[in-house]
Amino acid sequence: MVAAAEGGARAAPRVVRAALPGGARILVVRDPTSAVVSVRAVWPGGMRLERDTTAGLTRLMTDSWVAGCGPRGAVDVEGALERTGGSMWGSAGRDSVELAGEWPVSSWRAGVALFADCALAPRFAATAVDRARRGLMAERAARGRSAEQRAWQLLVATLHQGGAYGADPLGTASSLDALDQGAVDAHFAAAYPGGAMVLAVVGDVDPDQVIAAARKAFAAARSGPRPVGGPQPSSAAPSGERQVFGFLPGDVSAVVVGFPGVTVAHPDRPGLDLLAEVLAARVGAKLRLERHLVHRVGAMSIEGVEAGFIAVEIACRADKTGAAVAALRAEIDRLRTSPPAADEIARALRALRRPSSTPLASALATDEALATAGVTARRRASLARLRAADLAALAARTLVWDAAVIATVMPPRASPEAARRARGTVRRAAKRRRR
């Protein structure tokens, strides 16, 4: 691996850049300490291209990506990977898609040739698409059994309703039923031409040799326009707090409170990352450790090419839902009016400085594809300049209840309506007894 700098951040690698056919770009980093050559191809697009009617399409595509490439069928691809000691897979993000591969240094040339076939001419076999559909349906079923996962999906769907990130990434019953091999083929051809790709290669390789091999392997790459995003949200600001509910049998409730956030390149992004860490620590100390109201606390700031959100999550016993939500509201209000102490900020900064688990090749290709290459360095510098007053001001203008969404998944018996019905039953019974 490339050596890490102080504080866990990677030392800036020496990146060799070059052009590939069709307008694609390649970035190569020589890392003599690595026994593996990592190859990543990233295209802008991803799940933000989906509509409700095509929800799940990106995952269907990436999950069936390597089941046949170019002249090779699925068995041929598996055999080539086995012979070269490599592995290859696709993955879907909110703003991009990625084809990933890894090979031993001794077989990187054969790996790049195979990788090019799958990057430029995947087959998306019908059997593989059907298998991917079954996988998404299984994930949907598992999410349906998790109060926390369902609460997060309710939050995202409500915050991004009508927007670029509003479609369910796992699809819906109707969208998955309608999408087939033809839809996947057409989507890849329209949205992911080879010329829109950024290729990154990291390993103990000579950059000039890699670039020469890639130019030969990707000679058939065609140019094409970059994809545009999905439907944009209304410009009208939310007119009030929104509460959405889901119901799941059991003894646990999950609540996620979210507020509209910013894009990955927005000046407020570093502050929101820090604010999320402070919020998680405060809520955890007060609600979990001191008051024993909840057994799980988390917070995060999610950003993308389009604006994301900042949210805090709690999980608790169903009979404590009302008290836990009231206490969570109080902690959010306290952060709006009470600047964090120096030790709170220091702990949050330490958490944010943990080394990234994202492979270097993925980070390089994604930053280049989404034009966010300087964002990480600017974020690091901005974090160092943030003060308590800055965070208090950011909390005051971001954690606004009129723009909030509160997503709650609870047992039906714990719902507000059930409680109201129960109170009415008790009152009616009391009246009958008095008679």
* Averaged pLDDT for residues 165-188: 96
Q: How far is CA 117 from CA 72, 80, 222, 250, in A?
A: 8, 12, 13, 49
Q: Which has the higher per-residue pLDDT, 165 or 5?
A: 165
Closest CA to 198 of 14, 45, 369: 369
* Averaged pLDDT for residues 88-95: 97
Say if residues 176 and 134 touch (Cβ distance below 8 Å).
no
343 burial (CB, 10 Å; 0-12 / 13-18 / 19+) is exposed
425 has a pLDDT exceeding 50 = no
Q: HSE-up of 9 (CA within 13 Å, CB side)? A: 13
Give the separation between CA 33 and CA 392, rounded to whole angstroms. Answer: 44
Per-residue pLDDT band at 255 (split at 50, 70, 90): very high
Structural domains of the chain in order of their starting residue, each with its CATH number = 14-217 (3.30.830.10), 242-422 (3.30.830.10)
The least confident of 217-226, 255-264, 291-300, 415-424 is: 415-424
Q: HSE-up of 336 (CA within 13 Å, CB side)? A: 12
pLDDT for the residue numbered 9: 47
pTM for the model stands at 0.88
Say if residues 158 and 405 touch (Cβ distance below 8 Å).
yes
Q: Which has the higher per-residue pLDDT, 219 or 376?
A: 219
pLDDT for the residue numbered 357: 79
Q: Find all residues with CB under 8 Å of 432, minimum gap 6, and list them.
A: none
To the nearest whole number, what is the mean pLDDT of the chain?
A: 90
